[in-house]
Structure 1
Amino acid sequence: MVRDLVFEIGCEEIPAGFLSPALKAMKQLAAGLFREAGLEFSGISTLGTPRRLTLYIADLAEKQADRSESILGPPKKIAFDEDGRPTKAALGFARSHGVSVEELKIKETPRGEYLFLERRIPGKKTPELLLELLPRLVSEIPFPKSMRWGDLSWRFARPIRWLLAIFGREVVPVEIAGLVASNITYGHRFMAPAPIEIGSLVEYVRKLREAYVIVDPAERLAMTLDEIKDRARDVGGQVLEDKDLLEENANLVEYPYAICGQFDETFLELPRAVLITAMAEHQRYFAVINDKGQLMARFIAVNNTRPRNPEALIRGHERVLKARLEDARFFFEEDKKIPLEARVEELKGVSFHEELGSLYEKVVRIKALSAYLAERLAPDKIDLVKRAAWLSKADLMTEMVQEFPSLQGVMGREYALLSGEPPEVAQAIYEHYLPTKAGGELPETIIGAIISLADKADTLCAFFGIGERPSGTADPFGLRRQALGIINTVLKLRLHLSLKDLLGQAFLLLADRLNRSQEEVLEEVMGFIGRRLQGELVSRGFRSDLVEAVTSVSFDDLEDTRQRLLALSSFYERPEFAALSVGFKRVMNIIKKQGELPPLNQALLLEEAEKELHRTFIQVHERVVPLILEKKYDEALAGLLELKEPIDRFFDQVFVMVEEEDIRHNRLALLKAIAELFLMIADLSKIRED
């Protein structure tokens, strides 16, 4: 028999940013705990609002399955005397397990005959297990910050105020944080606060909806979206899309109610990004645009309550926003009084990190590293690169960015233009911060890309160089994002550069700040970027084994790595690839444990099959190497196909590991030369045989 479980943790308002990760973790933890307990179920999901986290398990078994247990006892020769009578050892074993000696059996083992007991252990009933499992689940839900309340030892995101736990229609009286679960939940704090009796999930969702609580996050998000779209249409506009802001608003309320307010049109003279940020970051308001994409003097706010007097609510929001926009206008006007270049000197008073010096010192390094890259990637733009690098962090000293940190780069571009800097310089200041989040916008210009790469390379080398590296989920300096930023920027703009050279140059500029050896840290940072590269390429749809085949050879030139992977992925689909791969794996298997080998001596090639392989290899090598150097990897891989049949004949007709050392080494040297040719593109031995 099976029943459904509904378990709700009712609490004070959980911060919006905590909610989605907590529900995801709750689902994963519950699945693991219930499987570990041997309880079968057909499905598991979570629901939640700021005031509740809810677990739903469908078709949960009413008890654990019964199981058999074999318990090994003493050896037979100790358990019975010469007359077959049980000894103290046998009697003690039986007594300790609550059975008679007659119920024991003899079992043959590799060590001889032993006494053993086989018994059936009935599964525990689910309600009994829930009394232990549910408190454990609650205690393991992770939050960025948790708190204690009252004199309890429990920690949670916010104080727990009630518990609901029903298995079928049976109440599970689980006790957590001094509270005992019941079949009672509560509706909206203001619009329907009365207790509600629940008998099933269907009742739970329906009755809460009637009590102004939309407990399904997906439904609440869709309802929030409908609300803000409707309010924008009411004034002839549309909502400026912002998925993060939409999710945040949906996680702030139990029953979304949107209003549309307005502000003085003179504020539209502020930079667009300033208006949007001032509305979104502090007030969580949505901007409204017209059919031309221009900002309107309107905003939309999402509320958790349907007011009796909507106009009063709107006026309240308008007053709050007006104050914020007045502040923003003041900051903007004050910032314009000082040219951007004049702020660079102020960076000397701002610490980048106590062991890594000031932001000014970082800017000096970024400028030098950017110039190094520009000489290789855009020598005709080196002066613009140096100028943009010099100004790249100056906007951090402006009032606007200190009030709205997310506007770093955005205001740098704005103030650079107002200070008379070239548009290319202004755009590069903005772009060098990109991407600001996973999957975010990347630099479009070569100048912006160069400064972005220099900044990120300096940050990676600096923090790894003082032993500050990510561990587990902790990444306080965003080093994973920095590495992915390098990877995606290089791949987006198809830049050919040596990662080792870039990082090596960054280490030289940091030499007086590091407390670890440059060689050790360079290897560590390269490995760190390599793992991010593999994950990124797999996320783009490439097979993981093909990615490994290419990156295990080299990933120093990221764009070259991508090109080799594209060629290999295409070549992999050809019917003859599998046979060539098998031949290469035979080559690798036989040479991988060999040390240094003498140069190949053609005079020592005795068998016709090895002579043929050598002739074909020389011909293929002459054609393929130039193709590889020209990065024509598709043609190069096609050329390698000519080696397939000679390799097969060689292994069929030639015994490699002969006793004569010079002949054996010569044959191994031939195979090694073939392997090295393949390894200029990829290590085919890494590819799975599907």
Structure 2
Amino acid sequence: MTEKHDLLLEIGCEEIPAGYVAPALKRMEELFAEFCEKNRISSGETKTFGTPRRLALTAEAVADRQDDMVIEIKGPPSKAALAPDGSFNEAAAKFAESRGGSLKQLQIRPTDRGDYLFMVKKEKGGKTAAALAELPKFIFERLAFPKSMRWDVRPARFARPARWILLLYANKPVRAGFNGLPCGPFTYGNRWHGSKKIKVSSIPDYFEKLEAAGVVADHRRRREMIRKAATGLARGNPYMPDELLDEVNFLVEYPYAAIGTFPVEFTELPPEVLIICIKKNQRYFPVSDPATGRMLPEFVVAMNAPLTESKKVIEGYERVLNSRLKDAKFFYDEDLKTSMKDRAESLKRITFQDKLGSLWDKQERVKALAADLGAGWGAAAEDVRTAVEAASLMKADLASQMVFEYTEIQGTVGKYYILAEGGRTEVAQAVEEHYMPRFADDALAASAAGALLAVADKMDTVTGYFSVGLIPTGSADPYQLRRAALGVIRTLEAFNMPFTFEDLARMSAERHGEIAGDENSRRKLVDFFEERYRNYMVASGYPHDVMEALAARKAPLAKKREAADAIVEVKDAEEFRDFREVFTRISNIMSKSKPSVGKGVNPDLFQAEEERALREAWLKAKPALEDPNATESGKLMAMFALAAPGAAFFDKVLVMDKDENVRENRGVMLFEILAGITDNSADYKLIVKK
């Protein structure tokens, strides 16, 4: 009878970079599952645990024997393996011998190509403990890190030098020597506790003894300890975004929290600057006043050891931080000596891109485009004025010392500098918001002026790079044009701007001579945005075929989303399937025969009542399709009325009539229906038939 036992694996090493640990733990769990599948070992729930010095895994209910395996080996056709009396002949015997089996293991089985000889071998599963000896090597060799290293003369690579392997199964050590690493029932505690060798007898014993030696191995529990300690110590609200909390969590093995302070004069700096100095450079937690939201002159630090000489240790933390804050204060004070207008002038000497001119040139293009977008959107005159004014200053902070040092807060620095010299709040806000969204899930601009500027700036960037041939290919996108396009799409949708991608390409191209008159280049630009929009919508849950069908439609994004919702709601209905069938037949015929351009439908050439009925049905549906105020559901209902007369038409009427005039007239009618539906709704033949 198969028994089940728990398993514990730990790889001990020197301190791993904090950002490497979580991905390594996830991969470790995947590799254990692969190992079990490969070795036919059944197991229960698996969990991983990590600190800077160890990657650990536990698995419950691991079977003590591998599953039995049946191996089937296909041989020659049965007629070549059987004697006249139906027994296996010499060829069959040689086949069995070559595969390490006997005649008793041979069978005749039917296949798609007739009866064949098969050898069926049953391999009994071995002991799990023996197979587990290969587990550390299997995982160790397959764990990948952004950067790996070799140490000593060992051939293996790892994030940092590995020092020991702990492997227990059924509370017994498994000998799994690999790469010269010691392997046994031993682990090591926190360095600050002497890093003593600890003998482990079980999984509960592992966690208990490690904690006594200054190691909380469960990173989930350790993270919560840090959060509670920081919240309890701070006089205000500690700033603990997930990415900072995760990083600090994997910098310590047992968190000891403490409070530090800095001179109150530094709270005059923009809060984003303080947060960067405290969070990014030092990995401390900044603290804000819950009543005012202003930064307090203190921080919380999580350490890896108890404070034996707390005053000196905290003074060291404060001294390092004060040096960084002094630099930031110097940059801030020096920058304020130059006005934003003068700083904007200096952009004439800073190149945006060799063929696209300076940052000043870019600002001028964006200023003109923002004005055009505002007029086309019907935005309030004050919002357009604000956007244009902000466009003249939007890149000025790139010439500041503060942004040179802290590039991630470009735009935000510009906002504070505009406010410091008495500029309008609305202009300062638009300058900050024109970078939004900075990444896929980032917040969007909150103001109309900021949205105009964000769309104009990103459109100018994408159009400019397309105009000089720097177009993303495959996975390569060094100028982050896909991110910029997604930012345009999200902003257009959020503010319900009435522009099609064709509108944006045309308006933006007018400022780039190389692409302005090139229809083919503008088409590539539109296709690029269509692809990004399609991927964005599919990622949001819309079916791929629906978005493909809508790709050719020139419509604002709000209308496209409304159409997608309407199609998704009815695409499985019988009336939709009937309509799609008629549309597909029209599309297929028109793909083979194009009618003369410019000709209209002549009812006098109709020879069948079904022709007239289809024409009348189309003339009734057409106004709803072309009405800009019609709902997309209403358009679908109007098109569904074409299904019955369309089906009757194809049953009774031969489109390719012998009479050239009749044939041409029918083609013109069908082409008008096809173009009217595709241009105003969707290409329904691309909807997958169910």
TM-score with structure 1 setting the length: 0.84
CA distances 1:493-548 after superposition (whole Å, capped 9, x unpaired)? 11122323434555665666x9xx977765555455444434433554x4425852
Unmatched 5+ stretches in structure 1: none
- C-alpha contact (below 8 Å) 1:67/1:123 kept by paired residues: no
1:582 aligned to which of 562, 577, 581: 577
Q: Is the 8 Å Cα contact of residues 549 and 685 (structure 1) preserved in structure 2?
A: no
Cα distance in 2, alignment partners of residues 581 and 79 from structure 1: 59
Please list the CA deviations of residues 212-249 of structure 1 after superposition, one character each: whole Å capped at 9, or x if unmatched.
323333222222111111012xx3x2224533322222
Assess if the C-alpha contact under 8 Å between 1:214 and 1:254 holds in 2. Answer: yes
1:269 matches 2:273: no
Note the 1:216-615 alignment, pairs <5 A: 216-232=218-234, 235=235, 237-240=236-239, 242-285=241-284, 286-347=286-347, 350=350, 352=352, 359-360=359-360, 362-377=362-377, 378=379, 380=381, 384-461=386-463, 466-467=469-470, 469=472, 471-472=474-475, 476-503=478-505, 506=508, 526-540=526-540, 542-544=541-543, 547-548=546-547, 551-554=550-553, 557-568=556-567, 571-572=569-570, 578-594=573-589, 595=591, 596-598=593-595, 602-603=603-604, 611-615=612-616
Q: Give the letter for the 1:590 counterpart.
A: R
Closer, same or farther in 2 for the Cα pair 1:182/1:675, shift >3 Å? farther
Q: Quote the offset at 1:200 in angstroms.
A: 4.1
Partner residue in 2 for 1:150: 152
Query: How far is 1:9 from its partner?
Result: 2.1
CA-atom RMSD in angstroms: 3.9
**Which residue of the other structure, out of 213, 223, 242, is the alignment partner of 1:211?**
213
Partner of residue 195 from structure 2, selected from 193, 196, 206: 193
Distance 1:588 1:568 in 2: 15
| CA distance, structure 1, for counterparts of residue 270 and residue 513 of structure 2 | 41
**Alignment check: 8 A CA contact 1:50 1:254 kept:** yes
Amino acid of the structure 1 residue aligned with 2:418:
A
Distance (whole Å) between structure 1 residues aligned to residue 617 and residue 449 of structure 2: 47
Change (3 A) 1:111 1:318: closer
Deviation at 1:99, TM superposition (A): 3.7
The structure-2 alpha-carbon separation of the partners of 1:644 and 1:210, relative to structure 1 and needing over 3 Å to count, comes to farther
List per-residue Cα deviations over 1:650-677 (Å, max 9, x = no partner): 67x6476788687788777666655555
Q: Distance in 1 between matches of 2:135 and 2:543?
A: 37
- 2:73 paired with 1:70: yes
Amino acid at match of 1:580: E
1:594-613: per-residue Cα shift (whole Å, max 9, x none)?
22354655456566555444
Displacement after TM superposition at 1:295 (Å):
2.5
Shift of 1:430: 0.8
Deviation readout 1:371-400 (Å, 9 max, x if unpaired) = 553453459465644443332222122111
Letter in 1 for 2:60: A
Alpha-carbon contact 2:230-2:238 (below 8 Å) kept: yes
Write the distance in 2 (CA, Å) between the matches of 1:115 and 1:550. 51
CA 1:265 to 1:115, structure 2 compared with 1: closer, same or farther past 3 Å? Answer: closer
Q: Which moved more, 1:629-638 or 1:158-167?
A: 629-638
Whole-angstrom distance in 2 between the partners of 1:511 and 1:500: 17
Pair 348,151 (structure 1): closer, same or farther in 2 beyond 3 Å: farther
C-alpha distance 36-434 of structure 1, shift in aligned 2 (>3 A)? farther
CA distance in 2, matches of 1:354, 1:123: 67
Whole-Å Cα distance in 2 between the matches of residues 39 and 413 of structure 1? 60
Q: Structure 1 pair 99/567, CA: closer, same or farther in 2 (3 Å)?
A: closer
Distance 1:434 1:164 in 2: 48
Answering whether residue 5 of structure 2 is matched by residue 6 of structure 1, we say no
Mean Cα deviation higher: 107-116 or 134-143: 107-116
Assess, with a 3 A threshold, how the Cα gap between structure 1 residues 642 and 97 changes in structure 2: closer, same or farther: closer
Residue in 1 that maps onto 2:621: 620
Task: Indicate how the Cα distance of structure 1 residues 484 and 257 shifts in structure 2: closer, same or farther if over 3 A, else same.
Answer: farther
Cα separation, 2, equivalents of 1:351 and 1:161: 51
Number of aligned residues = 674
* Match among 17, 20, 23 for residue 22 of structure 2: 20
The residue type equivalent to 1:267 in the other structure is F
Kept in 2: contact 1:68–1:118 (CA 8 A): yes
Aligned to 1:440, what secondary structure does the other structure show? Answer: coil
1:83–1:54 CA distance, 2 compared to 1 (3 A):
closer
What amino acid does structure 2 have at the position aligned with 1:158? R
- The code of the aligned residue for 2:282 comes to Q
Aligned runs of 1:15-94 on 2, under 5 Å? 15-61=17-63, 62-73=65-76, 76-77=79-80, 92-94=94-96
TM-score with structure 2 length normalisation?
0.84
The letter for the 2-side match of 1:294 is R
Contact in 2 for aligned 1:613/1:647 (Cα 8 Å): yes
Question: Relative to structure 1, is the Cα distance of residues 37 and 625 closer, same or farther in structure 2, using a 3 angstrom cutoff?
Answer: same
Instruction: Kindly indicate whether the alpha-carbon contact (under 8 Å) linking 1:168 and 1:199 is maintained by their aligned counterparts in 2.
Output: no
Amino acid at match of 2:265: T
Contact 1:461 1:506 in 2 (8 A): yes
CA distance in 2, matches of 1:83, 1:30: 48
**CA 1:684/1:328 → structure 2, altered by over 3 Å: closer, same or farther?**
same
Q: 1:330 to 1:518 in 2, by over 3 A?
A: same
Cα contact 2:549–2:687 (8 A) shared by 1: no
Residue 150 of structure 1: how far off its partner (Å):
2.4
Following the alignment from structure 2 to structure 1, what is the Cα–Cα distance between the partners of residues 67 and 479?
Answer: 46
Deviates more, 1:429-438 or 1:313-322: 313-322
Identity %: 33
Distance 1:142 1:607, change over 3 A: farther
List per-residue Cα deviations over 1:297-319 (Å, max 9, x = no partner): 22222222221243433333222
Cα distance change of structure 1 residues 302 and 85 upon mapping to structure 2, 3 Å threshold? closer
Give the distance between the partners of 1:6 and 1:38, measured in 2 at CA. 18
Could you list the runs of 5+ residues in structure 2 that have no partner in the other structure?
Answer: none
User: 1:67 deviation in Å?
Assistant: 1.5
For the structure 1 residues 103 and 317, does the alpha-carbon distance in structure 2 shift closer, same or farther, using more than 3 Å as the test? Answer: closer
Flag the 1:636–1:591 CA change in 2: closer, same or farther, 3 A: closer
For the 8 Å contact 2:70–2:120, the answer to whether it is kept is no
Check 1:123–1:484 CA distance in 2 against 1; reply closer, same or farther (3 A cut).
farther
Query: SS state of the match for residue 342, structure 2?
Result: helix
Is 1:96 matched up with 2:64? Answer: no
- Equivalent-residue separation in structure 1 for 2:178 and 2:314 (angstroms): 41
Following the alignment from structure 1 to structure 2, what is the Cα–Cα distance between the partners of residues 60 and 263?
A: 54
Aligned AA for 2:271?
Answer: R
User: Structure 2 CA distance, aligned partners of 1:434 and 1:521?
Assistant: 27
Deviations 1:96-150 (A, max 9, x none): 2234567655566666665543322334554454444543433333322222222
